[in-house]
Structure 1
Amino acid sequence: MVEEQEKRRSSEDEIDLIELTRSIWAGRLFIAKVTSVFIIIGLIIAFTSPVEYEATCKLLPESQEAQMPSLGGLAGLAGLAGVDLSSMGGSSGVMTPQLYPEIVNSLPFILEVMNDTIYFERQDIHATSFNYFKNIVKPSVMGYILKYTIGLPGLIFSNKPEDIISTKDDLSFYRISKEDWRLIESFKERIILEIDSETGIVEVMVEMPDPYAAAQIAKKIELMVTGAVVEYKTGKSLKNLEFILEAHDESKRKYESVQYQLARSTDRNRNVNSATAQIELKKLEYEFNLAYEVYKGLSSQVEQAKIKLKEETPVFTVLEPVRIPGDKSKPKRAVILIVLMVMGCMIGTIILFCKFILVGKRGRSF
């Protein structure tokens, strides 16, 4: 009896599966209609979405270890000049490429990029990115739909302070409205900085509605990132060099002054055998020797500081320079149509499947 019941259940399952296939096949016209609706939606999205262009560049930061052998010739010359390179340690500051995205995403960095005036070729205007996205560029049809449907609560309850960005005294305090903050966050998404963990190659990608503007911003980010890294790595050494140069210039002036005084005293007391004159001459000679030793020592330290600064200055190799993109990166219309077509087919099939299940349950309930 049990075996017969199991056979009946399996046969019923087979019959259900066959019926389901028949039901879906019978509803193929319904699936086609649902798919057609999704294709129309896909066409609207594909042809009303704003066009974007992506500019890229690739950099290879030279490691600190790679810079050390290049000082071999300088070390020999420094030895002849009396400069000891053995006491020159490596840079204490460490900034790995993995920290570069943090630099790019920082608020001061983004604001500097957004407040830089660039040329928008398609509109033939010069404007900042902040002003362009806030006052010049017009949202697409889909942008308007999203703004006044999903974004409607934000428009109703948004707060708009009078100041957009303000600073006070020497401390950087930023006051940013919600609308402007959303604009900044949206602009951040247009900038991507990726690091290849194996090769160390840094790739900067910028997406903008204008190809020429995208290239300009990518170039600015390249210069700002390399400049920030160089400033971080060489900041301490540069301050040390400035301090030594200031002391060196002061010692040089003192040395030349004592040298002039000694020359005058020697000429004046050439034929004088006075003990007072001899004491004054020896005093000036002592001051001259002391000033010369200080001047000589600081000159050596200046050369040493210059070599250390050169050693700690990171070098970036541009593997792929920025170029003005010719092809748009968005929207990818073929991909949008294929995805929505598949979604329409799946949703139509799921609706028929649910209908079949509900009809089957009702039939069994009676």
Structure 2
Amino acid sequence: MTQHIKFEERIQYADDEIDLRELFATLWAGKWIVIVFTALFATGGVALALSKPDIYQASVLVAPANDDGGAGGLPGQLGGLASLAGINLGGGGSNQTVIAKEVLQSRAFLTDFIFRHQLAVPIKAVKGWNREKRQWQYNSEIYDADAQSWLKNDKGHTFEPTDWDLVKAFRENHLSVSESKDTGMLTISIKNLSPVAAKEWARLLIADINEHMRKEDVAASEARIAYLEGKLETTNITGMQQVFYQLIESETRTVMLANAQPEYVFKTLDPAVVPQEKSEPKRALIVVLATILGGMLAVLIVFIQAYVKSSHVKPVNSAVNSVS
């Protein structure tokens, strides 16, 4: 009895094993499905790869310019005196670098950057770049290049993008910021249909963030100087007057150093250059992935068809055996 059960188990196990010859026979029977699907997907992959325009990336490597506390930092003694006087004189250079990195990606700064350099049309209304003529190729469905105006749809709504649309498109399609945790260096990259624009936008970003942070710190120092001068006029205590004079001197030095330092927050170590090779799209990879996807789908269809046929045959055979 035991031997009979083991024999039945071996038969069941053998039935559960995958018969490779049967699999290859099934694939061979459906070879035309595999060939047609793979060819169609490969052709579609080629068409998709060729339809995508070339995208170029320019990168600039920068380092914090004020590792020693920056123009806005004060020695510990003066900082303590300022605190006694009820004045907050700001933090050091490391905090300034972190703030500058966040400001660089902020909505307010990017909106101002886009409109200051008139980038709305290149961001939302171009479809390519003519390398021979070094000119934009505009999307004539939404923008009239001759009249330099945005068109309207059938309902009368203009295609002109909002500030939200522009910043979103710039963040998603153009700007990327990465930081090295080991060195603290930042790599700011710009992707663009134009290699010339990619390089220029990266350069302008660094120049603008340095200028923005400089103006912010100069304005803050000048406001503190005005406050200290007002406090100086209202106190008759000699010791406090001396403290205020020292703080005013330090803030004045801060303003002078800020105005004399072109690269105020970020120092350029490796400037952006006009890229000669595209970064996207990876056309060969697109074609390979499309071909593999087509082949896998075709194989799946062949096996599904074979399973459906076998499931129809089994009930018929069972019915015939029951009748006989």
Q: Fold-level match, TM-score > 0.5?
A: yes
Q: In structure 2, what is the equivalent of residue 30 of structure 1? A: 33
| Pair 1:298–1:4, CA change in 2 (3 A) | closer
Residues in 1 aligned to 2:288 and 2:12: alpha-carbon distance in whole angstroms: 40
Q: Does 1:348 align with 2:294?
A: no
Per-residue deviation, 1:55: 1.0
Q: Does 1:195 align with 2:195?
A: no
Residues in 1 aligned to 2:166 and 2:305: alpha-carbon distance in whole angstroms: 45
Q: Does 1:336 align with 2:279?
A: no
Residues in 2 aligned to 1:230 and 1:214: alpha-carbon distance in whole angstroms: 25
Q: Does 1:237 align with 2:221?
A: yes
Residues in 2 aligned to 1:335 and 1:364: alpha-carbon distance in whole angstroms: 44
Contact 1:95/1:229 (CA < 8 Å) preserved in 2?
Answer: no
The root-mean-square deviation of aligned C-alpha atoms, in Å, is 4.4
Contact 1:100/1:225 (CA < 8 Å) preserved in 2?
Answer: yes
Q: In structure 1, what is the equivalent of residue 274 of structure 2? A: 324
Contact 2:56/2:195 (CA < 8 Å) preserved in 1?
Answer: yes
Q: In structure 2, what is the equivalent of residue 5 of structure 1? A: 8
Larger relative contact order (CA 8 Å, sep ≥ 6): 1
Contact 2:64/2:267 (CA < 8 Å) preserved in 1?
Answer: yes
Residues in 2 aligned to 1:107 and 1:157: alpha-carbon distance in whole angstroms: 31
Q: In structure 2, what is the equivalent of residue 302 of structure 1? A: 248
Give CA-to-partner distance per residue, 1:152-179, whole Å, 9 cap, x none.
Answer: xxx99989379x69xxxxxxxxxx4xxx
Q: In structure 2, what is the equivalent of residue 278 of structure 1? A: none
Residues in 2 aligned to 1:334 and 1:246: alpha-carbon distance in whole angstroms: 69
Q: Does 1:114 align with 2:110?
A: no
Residues in 2 aligned to 1:132 and 1:103: alpha-carbon distance in whole angstroms: 23
Larger radius of gyration: 1
Structure 1 letter corresponding to 2:90: S
Residues in 2 aligned to 1:181 and 1:305: alpha-carbon distance in whole angstroms: 38
Structure 2 letter corresponding to 1:214: A
Contact 1:237/1:305 (CA < 8 Å) preserved in 2?
Answer: yes
Give CA-to-partner distance per residue, 1:16-61, whole Å, 9 cap, x none.
Answer: 4531232124434432321111111111111111221111111111
Contact 1:58/1:202 (CA < 8 Å) preserved in 2?
Answer: yes
Residues in 1 aligned to 2:127 and 2:179: alpha-carbon distance in whole angstroms: 32
SS of the counterpart of 1:218?
Answer: helix
| Pair 1:138–1:333, CA change in 2 (3 A) | closer
Residues in 1 aligned to 2:39 and 2:223: alpha-carbon distance in whole angstroms: 68
Task: Select the residue among 163, 168, 174 that pairs with 1:185.
Answer: 168
1:142-157 correspondence to structure 2 within 5 Å: none
Q: In structure 1, what is the equivalent of residue 209 of structure 2? A: 225
SS of the counterpart of 2:302?
Answer: helix
| Pair 1:96–1:34, CA change in 2 (3 A) | farther
Per-residue deviation, 1:321: 1.0
Per-residue deviation, 1:306: 3.0
| Pair 1:102–1:303, CA change in 2 (3 A) | closer
| TM-score in terms of structure 1 length | 0.60
| Pair 1:98–1:87, CA change in 2 (3 A) | closer
Per-residue deviation, 1:363: 2.5
- Worse-superposed segment, 213-222 or 307-316: 307-316
Q: Percent identity over the alignment? A: 20
| Pair 1:186–1:157, CA change in 2 (3 A) | farther
Which segments of 5 or more consecutive residues in structure 2 lack a partner in the other structure?
Answer: 84-88, 130-138, 143-151, 317-324
Residues in 1 aligned to 2:107 and 2:51: alpha-carbon distance in whole angstroms: 32
Q: In structure 1, what is the equivalent of residue 120 of structure 2? A: 130
Task: Select the residue among 14, 17, 40 that pairs with 2:17.
Answer: 14
Per-residue deviation, 1:233: 5.4
Residues in 2 aligned to 1:87 and 1:96: alpha-carbon distance in whole angstroms: 22
- Worse-superposed segment, 188-197 or 20-29: 20-29
SS of the counterpart of 2:301?
Answer: helix
SS of the counterpart of 1:335?
Answer: helix
SS of the counterpart of 1:115?
Answer: helix
| Pair 1:22–1:50, CA change in 2 (3 A) | same
SS of the counterpart of 1:329?
Answer: coil
Q: In structure 1, what is the equivalent of residue 134 of structure 2? A: none
Residues in 2 aligned to 1:57 and 1:338: alpha-carbon distance in whole angstroms: 32
| Pair 1:17–1:296, CA change in 2 (3 A) | closer
SS of the counterpart of 2:17?
Answer: helix
Per-residue deviation, 1:352: 1.6
| Pair 1:181–1:309, CA change in 2 (3 A) | closer
Per-residue deviation, 1:327: 1.0
Per-residue deviation, 1:192: 0.9
Structure in which a larger fraction of residues adopt helix: 1
Give CA-to-partner distance per residue, 1:235-273, whole Å, 9 cap, x none.
Answer: 53342135557999x9xxxxxxxxxxxxxxxxxxxxxxx
